[in-house]
Structure 1
Amino acid sequence: MREIRYYPARWADNRIAMGARASRRPIEIFAAIFVAAGFIYSLHLGTDALGASEAYSAWAAGKQGVGAIVRTPVLHDPGKQVFYYVILHYYTRIFGMSEASLRSLSVIFSLATLVLVFAIGCEMFDDNTALAAAAMWAFNPLAVVFAHTARMYSMLIAIALAQLWTLWRVRKRPSASGAVACGIAGAALLYTHLGGILFIGVGVAMLVRDYIGGKRNPMAWLAIAITMALFMPYVPVARAQSETLIAGHWLDWIGTGYEYPLPLKILVALAAAAVALRFVVSQTGVSDTDGQLVWLGAWTILPGLMLGAGSVVIRPMFNLRYVAPSTATLALLAAAGLARVSVKWRNLLLAGFALACLIMLPFDRPDPQPWRDFARQVSQGGSSDPVFFESGFVSTGNAPSVANDGFPFGYYSVPFDYYFHGSNPRIAIPGFDSPSARMTVEERVLSAGGGWLVSWKDGDAVDSELPDPKRFRAVEKYRGEHLAFYRITPVGK
């Protein structure tokens, strides 16, 4: 009898030990992925010069106090909210304002995103699905780009996923503390970027779906109410920013409307509404996985669908950065969806995808920014030569020249001043008034004997503000996307 009791007991102990090892294996592999991702995200942080938008992050973070930081997006960087700038302000007070320091905060948020992808996968599905999604997200080019950029987008992804995770948890296990945590995460999302309203809207739509299906969860609705209450004081500012963006036709958010036929606009609007309604009224199948896939599908598809439809019906407004959180949940959706077909093939495909991303990383680096070279060239010229920057909202193509107060000091003066500290005068010329800009350039260049122009206009548009070629010589030193650099001197000098 002792042997009969002994061997099953030992066999049971072995099963427990083997199960514990099996359950630890995904976590151990995830830890290895996390370390590898941290190494890759940290490469070359200080090698390349800051881009124009990254320099704005540095400029905002360098303000003297929170009050000045809060006014920055209102006056000069509409659409981007204050939370990232405040966090970056205190972060750089500790670690400095170098390129590596500014970008390292994005590395931290990117690693937090990786943890949240794994956590959401474990919460909604299982450890292996979470691991597959983490492997797919960790090394893809988008994740690496966001980690290497000193902007709020890595923070936007992390906070959006935190809001999704806490909303799902409070939906499954209602509690007042969970509702408060979810509400705070939602408010932080809105204070990070106006695009966060898309994801809050998807959450509301999915809770409506629950309500239609007979699931009453007051704690989840309390979380949404807390989010709205915390963001309410900022609504007037957000509204003013949106109106400014639309009026200014700003390059980085919205452009002039396309001349699509009215029937096409109506058709696109109805199609987008039908897709959104389908997510809301769809019913959960026999397996609860259906509900999880619907939630992830809505979160992944609807924000981009709304911006895409709005681009046709109203004005161009779609940009992948603004739906960046959807790119992270796409990894979860792919991992869970492929598992329903074949777990083996899912694992092989996602492992191959991660390996391909790793192979491509050395060839996927963006072109270096030219601001260090600009600063060097100006420093080699005369110290009295003025540097001209176009004020106003950045517009391209057929955007009308609308007088506005956007970027009164010149959009590109901020990245230039990050690298150039000489005494050369910085002069803002109205980008929306070419004749006036041309007159100012001619007068100041003639007086100083030379000058420099940093322009966001393309070749045809910038010609209208370059000085008279009979009296001045303008040499194009650089031409990139929405960026040109000219050396201007009087003829004969």
Structure 2
Amino acid sequence: MVAKAEQDRLDALIERFLWVIVALILFVALAFRLPGLDSRSLWIDELYSEWFSSRSFTELWRDVPLYETHPPIYYILLKLWTLIFGNSELGLRSLSLVASLATILLVAVSGRLVKADWLGNMVSLLGAALLAVNYANIREAQNARPYSLLTLLFMVAIVAALVLVARVQRDPKAAGKTGGWMAPGLILGLTVGCTLWFHNTSLFVAVGIWSGLALSLIVTPAELRLRNFAIFFGAGVLTLLAWAPYAPIFIQQSRTFMGLGFWLEPKTRDLYSAWMLFIGDSWPALLLSIALLALGLFRLARSGPAIALLVAAILLIPLYAVLAVSFSLKPVYLQRLFVWMIPLGLLVIALGIVTATRWQWPRLLLALIVIALAVTRSVDENGKPIDDWKGIVAEIARNARPGDVVIAAPAEGIIAVDYYARRQPNFPPVVCVPGCYPQRNLPRPYGSNFGAPKLILADGEIVEQALKTHGRVWLVQVSVTLYDPKSIVRSRIAAARTFVRYHGNALAKVELFE
């Protein structure tokens, strides 16, 4: 597709200016990720992260897995991180920011790591540029949640798997040596083992990776299959050994979760929403993503069928395995669970762009269109409303009077206000309904975890006791439709007090009653 002279020229240019280009990409990435990082209010899931990371190490390892659906390792790392950088918004989020920038750097140099030619290096740099402006990766880089770290770990594992397959396929003699397959095999096994400590759905991704490795054996010469199978099997055993100390907790959490009345409901949109993470969530962006992914996989299959099978398995099997569980057994699908796919998907899309035509200017135009769509989506995402708990607490603090009370419902309501309330002098007392988080082992249904129960009529007595000893009421509620669909708390307050006003938005608000 490209003349040898032009290939050599591009190779020389990339080699000469690689780190300048990488630095520019990282600068752009930082410019998209810094605004609001230290000023935007933490939302409810981030406040959960702060609350859990403030627990003791013993509690995090021994007690938290009994009622929280996520593994404790992210909270432990965040605790260690905040011991150094503090628990401000910037301190809490900077761990995710660093992980996001590290992922972009890894994508940018992935072509060199797999010892690709000029085309692979161009694809790597374009993929990194697309990742730098990708709205979902930007969002998770600004969130004190585990998904940015998980994305980095999975990208390390995926690059290791690509290197491993490339070496055992294209260079059999080197692959038989320790230096050929040992390093990527060890990195693959240990890294996937680590991901299983971060999120319970990581098990599906591990299945996808090893399914891809198994599929690569189909196009492996017969005399190498047994050896390659042994290498892949050994890496899998290493993953299981790395995961083994956590496996009993995983089994217990999974059993507990199956008995939880979870808040998700399967939707038709779930079948394709993960593919909207790459360029944008409009139909033109979705169709363009799918077309470029298909073209990229086709080009990859022609040049390296084993690699193509591995990449296709990683992109398809975990996603549709989770969707199968979500539609048939238990709703577990969330779009954000698949942000780990974005770096790999963007590399395939970049390959589709670079190989779409033999002419340079149409390729450049196509790349600019994809980048423009991605930037537009990122700008739109930045303007969306959030849980403004900082603003809500500030509103209460500014207008509070002696004798006021804050009623927080359900149990996680205290998590929503406490982080900012403890920074406000003379903040009104807070009454939690049915009690402050976590409220465990109560004889009632639970919602998103086994620390936050749903409300029942008897909880109205807690509200009435608060009304007897306080005047004005600031009602803070979280996920009303999930925890209090019958409006037990609000109706009790409204029967005794007069509604004055509310502050906030549909995602997070406080109501004042006098």
* TM-score of the pair, normalised by structure 2: 0.75
Q: How far 1:232 sits from its partner (Å)?
A: 1.7
**Cα separation, partners in 2 of 1:349 and 1:35, compared to 1, 3 Å:** same
Alignment of 1:282-431 (within 5 A): 287-342=302-357, 344=360, 345-358=362-375, 361-365=378-382, 366-379=384-397, 380-382=399-401, 384-391=403-410, 410-421=411-422, 422=427, 424-429=429-434, 431=453
**Cα separation, partners in 2 of 1:39 and 1:286, compared to 1, 3 Å:** closer
Q: Which region of structure 1 is more displaced relative to structure 2, 217-226 or 426-435?
A: 426-435
1:404 aligned partner: none
1:235 aligned partner: 247
1:463 aligned partner: 487
3-state SS of paired residue (2:196): helix
Q: Which region of structure 1 is more displaced relative to structure 2, 111-120 or 210-219?
A: 210-219
Contact 2:96–2:142 (CA under 8 A) maintained in structure 1: yes
Q: How far 1:105 sits from its partner (Å)?
A: 1.2
**Cα separation, partners in 2 of 1:95 and 1:439, compared to 1, 3 Å:** same
2:127 to 133, 151, 165: 133
**Cα separation, partners in 2 of 1:383 and 1:162, compared to 1, 3 Å:** farther
Alignment of 1:100-119 (within 5 A): 100-119=90-109
2:54 to 44, 59, 62: 62
**Cα separation, partners in 2 of 1:116 and 1:438, compared to 1, 3 Å:** same
**Cα separation, partners in 2 of 1:183 and 1:381, compared to 1, 3 Å:** same
Q: Which region of structure 1 is more displaced relative to structure 2, 209-218 or 80-89?
A: 209-218
3-state SS of paired residue (2:407): strand
**Cα separation, partners in 2 of 1:472 and 1:244, compared to 1, 3 Å:** farther
Q: What letter matches 1:224 in structure 2?
A: G
1:203 to 173, 184, 209: 209
**Cα separation, partners in 2 of 1:133 and 1:470, compared to 1, 3 Å:** closer
Q: Which region of structure 1 is more displaced relative to structure 2, 151-160 or 35-44?
A: 35-44
Contact 2:44–2:416 (CA under 8 A) maintained in structure 1: yes
2:8 and 2:455 map into 1 onto residues whose CA distance is 76
Contact 1:284–1:291 (CA under 8 A) maintained in structure 2: no
3-state SS of paired residue (1:49): coil
Amino-acid identity (%): 20
3-state SS of paired residue (1:387): strand
* TM-score of the pair, normalised by structure 1: 0.78
1:434 aligned partner: 456
Gaps of 5+ in 2: 1-6, 168-174, 269-296, 436-452
Q: How far 1:76 sits from its partner (Å)?
A: 4.5
Q: How far 1:437 sits from its partner (Å)?
A: 1.9
Contact 2:164–2:184 (CA under 8 A) maintained in structure 1: yes
Structure 1, residues 198-220: CA drift from partner, whole Å, max 9, x if none?
Answer: 21101111122134444332233
1:74 aligned partner: 65
1:89 and 1:97 map into 2 onto residues whose CA distance is 9
Q: Which region of structure 1 is more displaced relative to structure 2, 340-349 or 217-226?
A: 340-349
Q: How far 1:54 sits from its partner (Å)?
A: 0.8
Contact 2:215–2:306 (CA under 8 A) maintained in structure 1: no
Q: What letter matches 1:473 in structure 2?
A: T
Structure 1, residues 303-339: CA drift from partner, whole Å, max 9, x if none?
Answer: 2222223332223321111111112211011122344
Q: Report the aligned-residue RMSD.
A: 3.2
Contact 1:170–1:219 (CA under 8 A) maintained in structure 2: no
Structure 1, residues 226-277: CA drift from partner, whole Å, max 9, x if none?
Answer: 11112122122112222333322233xxx36789xxxxxxxxxxxxxxxxxx
1:301 and 1:68 map into 2 onto residues whose CA distance is 37
2:474 aligned partner: 452
**Cα separation, partners in 2 of 1:99 and 1:227, compared to 1, 3 Å:** same
1:168 to 162, 165, 169: 162
2:257 and 2:472 map into 1 onto residues whose CA distance is 35
2:14 and 2:388 map into 1 onto residues whose CA distance is 51
2:38 aligned partner: 46
Q: How far 1:176 sits from its partner (Å)?
A: 3.2
Q: How far 1:481 sits from its partner (Å)?
A: 4.7
